[in-house]
Amino acid sequence: MRPLPVGDPGDPDVRSATRYLVWLAARTWPSMLAAISFAIIWMLSQALIPATVGRAIDAGLTDRDADSLLRWGAVLFGLGLVTGVTGILRHRMAAFNWLSAAYRTIQLTVRQANRVGATLPKRLATGEVVSIGTSDINHIGGALDITARGTGSLVAVVAVGVILLRTSVPLGLIVVVGVPVMMLIAASLIKPLQRRQQVYRDQEGKLTTRAGDIVAGLRVLRGVGGESTFAGRYRTESQELRSAGVRVARIESLLAASEILLPGMFLVLVTWLGARFALRGEISVGELVALYGYAAFLVSPLRQLTEAIDRLTRGHVAARRVVRMFTLEPEFTSPAAPVTTPAGPLVDAESGLTVRPGRFTAIAARDPVDAAAIADRLGRFAEGTVTLSGVSLAELDLTTVRERILVADNDARLFSGPLRAELDPRGSGDGAIAAALDTASAVDVVDALPAGLDTAVAERGREFSGGQQQRLRLARALVADPETLVLVEPTSAVDAHTEARIAARLGAARAGRTTVVCTTSPLVLDRADEVAFVADGLVVAAGTHRDLLRRHPDYRATVTREEDQ
């Protein structure tokens, strides 16, 4: 077996959930085939035990033949040995198939998230993606795991039916007819179960998103007194999820009950008929004992077949959600024949903004949403007509655009892992990190950590305050040192003294490079080479901060309001 996870997860078949599950099975066909083979041998060896016991009784005890008794006893021992060995190997193969499907799904999910990029949160809620890694992989892996046991159980039931037909035609017919009837009864629950599981899965994704939003914005909620409102919404959605779970549980409880009730009724019927046939002398004592053994044995494969129906249904629902994500396409892609362009003015035709190369430009918008929209267009994260040196960004390779123009906003996150790797993923060196930390006024944040840059950061940087996270994210953007850096409200969460230090250092740190900052902070605006004032999505004035203060009342009102706040 290959080590997991594999280097290349492959290209999945996403035409349907069923095709995706089949594709996963095909990617591990040697272990799938081995698991099915071992499961068949495992179940057949158990199915032959009652027949062996019956023969031992008839040939050894009834006929008082010690040699036959020893011979059939040895066969029974061999069957037990085969059952034990194949059971271990089957479980090992099935566990590998489970892990392979789970790992491969996670790898494909991460790859798709990277491919789709900024389009993903626009199309799917965060909770949907999180649920793939927490619950869906369990159900998908479980579907591949149960396949081997389900196949082995089906073969065992057929084998027992054939044996019983040779022993007694009526008993054999009961198995041949009764088992499909029981499967049809269990299968009748699948459609409603699938629908209810789909509703439950949707509600679960929404609640996960809600919980993530509450945790991420807990400080803000406490500040504005919105805890009770969000707690009420969470409580309502939690009750909706509970109700959906209860509806699923009703069907699952019926399915679980059928796992016990139907085989139990089958066991009673076969045992009763077998006893009557034995009393009439139609079957021997050994065959009667074997019949009891078969009746008891059939409970296991029948329960496993019912379990297989349940787990395959869960896997299909989960695969449908995964396929939905895998079929998403990024909003923006590279053109078939991308062109190249030298550094030059960056122009947003929609707003009338012109960013000259090598300068520190600030965008002060009466409505901050307008500034953020311009930043998205400049980085080609939103539709727009933006040119670089007269060439449309749509004509450039998307990877080149991402490398040359970096947009850093407050929706960015710190990832878990060593802080050094988080700030400097490309390996620019500790010197670049130190300079960036100094510019972002974040040296004290790193100095306070127990292992400095080697400290392991928790997911989303939970150990840092909002202001500390913002400074570290700014440092990360500065280490990247792109040709054009677009910062959206980079100092909104820090105090005035820290903001003044950052504003004083930012221009020098980015000397010779193009820097765009969306802000209405006078401390930052005063340091910019040029300020563009945006109202109703359009640049209505441009100049230095002090010049605009003197001659533009609307600008003065906007930045003065910022000072008052």
Confidence band for 217, pLDDT divided at 50, 70 and 90: low
Contact (CB, 8 A) for 528 and 553:
no
Distances (CA, A) of 287 to 48, 171, 460, 522: 13, 12, 67, 96
pLDDT of residue 197: 75
State the sign of the Cα–Cα–Cα–Cα dihedral 26, 29, 35, 38: positive
What's the pLDDT tens digit per position in 411-446? Answer: 888 888 999 999 999 999 999 999 999 999 999 999
- DSSP letter at 396 equals B
| pTM as predicted | 0.71
Write down the pLDDT at residue 561.
Answer: 63
Q: Which CATH class is domain 17-326?
A: mainly alpha
Please count the other Cβ atoms lying within 10 Å of the Cβ belonging to residue 300.
16
Task: State how far the Cα of 176 lies from the Cα of 138, in Å rounded to an integer.
Answer: 34
Please write the tens of the pLDDT for every residue from 173-195.
Answer: 777 777 777 777 777 777 787 77
Q: How many CA atoms lie within 13 A of 434 on its CB side?
A: 3
Tell me which of 298 and 480 has the higher pLDDT. Answer: 480
The mean pLDDT of the chain is 87
Assign 224 a pLDDT band (cuts: 50, 70, 90).
low
**How far from 481 is each of 232, 422, 432, 436, 529, CA to CA, in Å?**
45, 15, 9, 9, 19
Lowest mean pLDDT among 61-65, 216-220, 281-285, 398-402: 216-220
Residues 489, 410: contact at Cβ < 8 Å? Answer: yes
What residues does CATH 3.40.50.300 cover in the chain?
A: 346-564
- The answer to which of 62-66, 67-71, 153-157 has the lowest mean pLDDT is 62-66
Q: What are phi and psi of 361, to 5 degrees?
A: -110, 135
- d(CA 439, CA 204) in angstroms, rounded, equals 43
Q: Where in the chain is the domain with CATH 1.20.1560.10?
A: 17-326
* Cβ-contact 412, 474 below 8 angstroms: no
User: Pick from 116, 118, 16, 14: which is nearest to 329 by CA?
Assistant: 116
Does domain 346-564 correspond to CATH entry 3.40.50.300? Answer: yes
- Average pLDDT in the 516-545 region? 95
pLDDT tens by residue, 307-349: 888 899 889 989 998 999 999 988 877 787 777 787 889 999 9
- HEC string of 433-502? HHHHHHHCCCHHHHHCCCCHHHCEECHHHCCCCHHHHHHHHHHHHHHHCCCEEEEECCCCCCCHHHHHHH
Q: What is the pLDDT of residue 175?
A: 72
